[in-house]
Amino acid sequence: QVQLQQWGAGLLKPSETLSLTCAVYGGSFTNYYWSWIRQTPGKGLEWIGEINHSGSTKYNPSLKSQVTISVDTSKNQFSLNLSSVSAADTGVYYCARCDYGDLHFDHWGQGTLVTVSS
């Protein structure tokens, strides 16, 4: 049974850095890409980026300048840093497993509500 459990700060001020971590329990960590996806009032669901076990990353071109995704294979965890946040970054952030062969998101974390407010 694959489970993704995520955590991180839920309230940020403008210009701060959003940091979230997702732990993977069950299943293989090496055979998938691990993604971050957000759901904001302004843009709906939006893919942020992904990483594999060896640290290879891909980012959404529209967010690339703000995003860093990293991995800790010793703990089966991956993390998201989003710098210089603004109110437009307010929303629910999800971690998800991406099946690299079929390119879909088959397991999701519970979501973390992040609010950016001064």
How many Å apart are CA 96 and CA 29, to the nearest integer? 12
Least CB distance from residue 65 to other proteins, whole Å? 15
User: Toward other proteins, which CB reaches closer, 39 or 81?
Assistant: 39
The candidate with the shortest Cα–Cα distance to 32, out of 111, 109, 104, is: 104
**By CB under 8 A, what part of segment 50-89 binds other proteins?**
58-62
How many Å apart are CA 116 and CA 108, to the nearest integer? 23
Least CB distance from residue 41 to other proteins, whole Å? 12
For residue 109, state whether it binds other proteins (rule: CB under 8 A): yes
For residue 91, state whether it binds other proteins (rule: CB under 8 A): no
- Cβ neighbour number for residue 76 with a 10 Å cutoff: 18
